[in-house]
């Protein structure tokens, strides 16, 4: 719309966690569009209270954030809060963060925008929890958790590469391997700790017998996992 009418009529919402630094909890897509159009300035409504901006982010219905966008917004918020409110912690912002795995994935997306967060999300949702303590205490724990997921992803990438060498190329292949190596049973009521889960997952991936994988198996699993049409 901006390009068609040569006008920008809907200001973004901005917050300034530190002097000279601004980010938007509501307007990221408009900001990106204006940057692509090489706009010299962006009209914005500045919210002076960071906590209000964080609530706006949590309630944002402009356009549903995908997992990467949401996780990056959450880790940006997390780091800002860790600096501005060191006496508080994750448990004080569960509404704004929405889910604990957004923090873990945010750290991973910071260094790798193409990280396969969607493949790991089903496991993370079950074992990642909000951590007690101040941000200074929990941030190193979050980084350690992200590293465990990164190690599992490296093992998964190795398995996928070997399958590709066998000519097995399918967009669902990562999900297929994870589904057969996850240490979590769907019927399991008592879940193992986060660290144990991902250490076991990595070991399972490395021990997985790839010679038994067939393209047709992946195709059938992908079709069975696809959501039903409305």
- Plot region of 20 (φ>0 → left; ψ -120 to 50 → alpha; else → beta): left
Domain boundaries, the chain: 65-225
**pLDDT tens digits along 79-134:** 988 998 899 999 999 988 999 999 999 999 999 999 999 999 999 999 999 999 99
Return mean pLDDT, the chain: 84
Q: Which two tokens stand for residue 191?
A: 């879940």
Please report which confidence band the pLDDT of residue 155 belongs to, taking 50, 70 and 90 as the band edges: very high
**pLDDT tens digits along 40-92:** 777 887 877 666 666 665 555 444 468 998 999 899 989 988 998 899 999 99
Q: Which two tokens stand for residue 199?
A: 């250490």
User: Pick from 115, 84, 79: which is nearest to 97 by CA?
Assistant: 79
CA distance 52 to 92: 14
Structure confidence at residue 229 (pLDDT):
38
Give 26 or 130, the one with higher predicted confidence: 130
> How far are the Cα atoms of 125, 183, 191 from residue 188, in angstroms, in the given order?
14, 10, 7
């Amino acid at each position: 719309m901006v390009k068609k009418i040569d006008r920008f009529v809907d200001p973004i919402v901005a917050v300034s966690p530190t002097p000279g630094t601004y980010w938007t909890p509501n307007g990221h897509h408009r900001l990106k569009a204006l940057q692509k159009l090489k706009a010299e300035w962006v009209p914005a409504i500045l919210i002076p209270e960071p906590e209000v901006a964080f609530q706006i982010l949590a309630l944002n219905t402009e356009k549903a954030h995908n997992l990467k966008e949401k996780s990056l917004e959450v880790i940006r918020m997390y780091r800002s809060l860790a600096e501005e409110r060191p006496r508080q912690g994750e448990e004080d912002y569960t509404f704004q963060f929405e889910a604990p795995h957004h923090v873990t994935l945010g750290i991973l997306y910071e260094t790798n925008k193409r990280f396969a967060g969607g493949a790991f999300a089903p496991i993370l949702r079950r074992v990642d929890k909000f951590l007690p303590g101040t941000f200074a205490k929990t941030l190193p724990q979050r980084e350690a958790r992200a590293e465990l997921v990164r190690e599992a992803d490296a093992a998964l990438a190795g398995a996928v590469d070997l399958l590709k060498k066998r000519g097995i190329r399918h967009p669902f292949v990562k999900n297929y391997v994870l589904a057969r190596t996850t240490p979590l049973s769907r019927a399991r009521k008592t879940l193992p700790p986060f660290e144990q889960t991902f250490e076991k997952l990595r070991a399972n991936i490395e021990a997985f017998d790839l010679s038994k994988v067939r393209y047709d198996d992946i195709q059938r699993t992908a079709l069975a996992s696809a959501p039903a049409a409305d």
